[in-house]
Amino acid sequence: MRWTPQEYAGWGRALRARGEVARPQNPDDLLASETAPAFGMRRSYGDAALNSGGRAIDMSQLDRMLSFDPESGELHVEAGARIGDIAAAFAPRGWLPAVMPGTGFATVGGCIGQDVHGKNHHLLGSFTEHVAEITLIQQGGPVRVTPGSALFRATAGGLGQTGVITSAKLRMRPCKGDVMIVTERRAADWDEHVALLDASRATYTVGWIDATATGAALGRGIVEEGESGAGLVRQRDKARRVPMDAPHFALAAPIVQVFNWAYYHRVPARGRTLVKPMADFFFPLDKIHDWNRLYGRRGFHQFQCVVPLAAVDELRAMLEEIATSGLASPLAVLKRMGPGRAGYLSFPMEGYTLAVDFPNRDAARALIKRLEARTADAGGRLYFAKDSLAEGAQIRAMYPELSDWQQEVAKADPEGAYVTDLIRRLQLRTTT
């Protein structure tokens, strides 16, 4: 493989790295290569995919679908395969990845490394709970990892620290077809929003929340419930692209408030049911390529936490602080989560998760710091895939199985060859 000097960033663009990057064309390239951390499409928002001053392996070209068993639904794919491509190829045949994140550009390796969750976590848990086998390349060569082993639990949500994921076998789930039947309902305030999420029995459920609404409207939003279906529907138009970094005032508070008001009122008061292309439901922002440029050259940070069910009032208080700050963007999501998680460092817990994007400004960074402290006080967790600002001692305390993960990682990578900027910033491999 050829190593090329490159500057690169996470999706939030607020954190960057400079180092040498190689892009293997086949798995054999990895066996002959120097050991280094790997990344896919870099859809993690912060520094999970960055290795400042060192080398990194871009796995995005190793994206083949290797085999499929139509009887069991088991799909063997390379780690660089994109979730959206898998869904597009197999939904017409009656199969979907069991769990899909909010972007179709996420790779299978990335989904395992972060043990991502989707709009059906309350029913089916996290991504790696539906993985039958993972193939890693470690310094000693290829290793096959299966559920039930400590190495599997250290790899699921393990941030790439047990080796380079080269392929995986996914247990796909049956679906009815490649369209989604979606019911949209307004939630007038926080209590109604939470009640609708709690009462939902749909396969897929998600809430868009107006993070600028205050007072009696605090927590208003739109709850979407989806089921797969078969039929004809106009597929999404060709994706548009944000051609340049937006000016700093593009997401000023008055503009965001007007947008959110209009977005909330686009759904009739009585609600509605419609049929959508599958990608429009699962990956709504993918139809705007480079949408992260809307936050300008300085980029953005996302705050995403999960808190236990009993801490719902504390989450409401966090939202109130966000709403009165005037700093939130239109991108804010509230979901009910179940208990499912596959790894020692997997993010989910049974409770509620809130995710809000903020432009990269001093006031926003200070707000996120306060929100992180409130999350810790509530017994919650921050999401490594979205974090870019947390401090090590604080976030390490949120993961009680950290020491188990550290032990397995020390066996798999005793020389620290896979350490990334996120691992260093949070001191995750430090035992003290």
Mean pLDDT of the chain: 96
Nearest to 348 by CA among 149, 114, 154, 190: 114
What is the rounded CA–CA span in Å between residue 242 and residue 288? 7
Correct CATH for 65-175 of 3.90.1150.200, 3.30.70.1350, 3.40.50.10140, 3.30.465.10: 3.30.465.10
In sequence order, what are the residues at sequence separation of 6 or more whose Cβ sits closer than 8 angstroms to the Cβ of residue 375?
Answer: 305, 307, 318, 381, 382, 398
Distance from C-alpha of 239 to C-alpha of 80, rounded to nearest angstrom: 21
What is the pTM (predicted TM-score) of this model? 0.97
Which is it for strands 272-277 and 16-22: parallel, antiparallel or unpaired? unpaired
Kindly state the tokens that stand for 430.
């430090």
Under the banding of pLDDT at 50, 70 and 90, the label for residue 292 is: very high
| Each residue's pLDDT tens digit, 339-384 | 999 999 999 999 999 999 999 999 999 999 999 999 999 999 999 9
- Mean pLDDT, rounded, for 258-274: 97
pLDDT at 234 over 80: no
Query: Check: CATH 2.130.10.10 for 179-395?
Result: no
Question: Is residue 220 within 8 Å of residue 188, measured between CB atoms?
Answer: yes
pLDDT at 431 over 80: no
pLDDT at 336 over 80: yes
Mean pLDDT of 138-146: 93
Overall average pLDDT of the 88-109 stretch: 97
Which one-letter amino acid corresponds to residue 403?
A: S
For 284, the token pair is 């709504």
Q: How high is the pLDDT of residue 432?
A: 61
Residues of the chain with CATH 3.30.465.10: 65-175
Maximum C-alpha span of the chain = 62
> How confident is the model over 121-134, as a mean pLDDT?
98
Q: What share of the chain has pLDDT > 90, as a percent?
A: 93
In the predicted model, is pLDDT for residue 232 greater than 80? no
Listed in order, the ranges of the chain carrying CATH 3.40.462.10 are 179-395
Close Cβ partners of 191 (under 8 Å, ≥ 6 residues apart): 219
| Three-state SS letters, the chain | CCCEEEEEECCCECCEEEEEEECCCCHHHHHCCCCCCEECCCCCCCCCCCCCCCEEEECCCCCCEEEEECCCCEEEEECCCEHHHHHHHHHHHCEECCCCCCCCCCEHHHHHHHCCCCCCHHHHCCHHHHEEEEEEEECCEEEEECCCCHHHHHHCCCCCCCCEEEEEEEECEECCCCEEEEEEEEECCHHHHHHHHHHCCCCEEEEEECCCCCHHHCCCEEEEEEEEECCCCCCCCCCEECCCCCCHHHHCHHHHHHHHHHHHHCCCCCCEEEEEEHHHHHCHHHHEECHHHHHCCCCEEEEEEEEEHHHHHHHHHHHHHHHHHCCCCCCEEEEEECCCCCCCCCCCCCEEEEEEEEECCHHHHHHHHHHHHHHHHCCCEECCCCCCCCCHHHHHCCCCCHHHHHHHHHHHCCCCCCCCHHHHHHCCCCCC
- Check residue 236 and give its pLDDT: 64
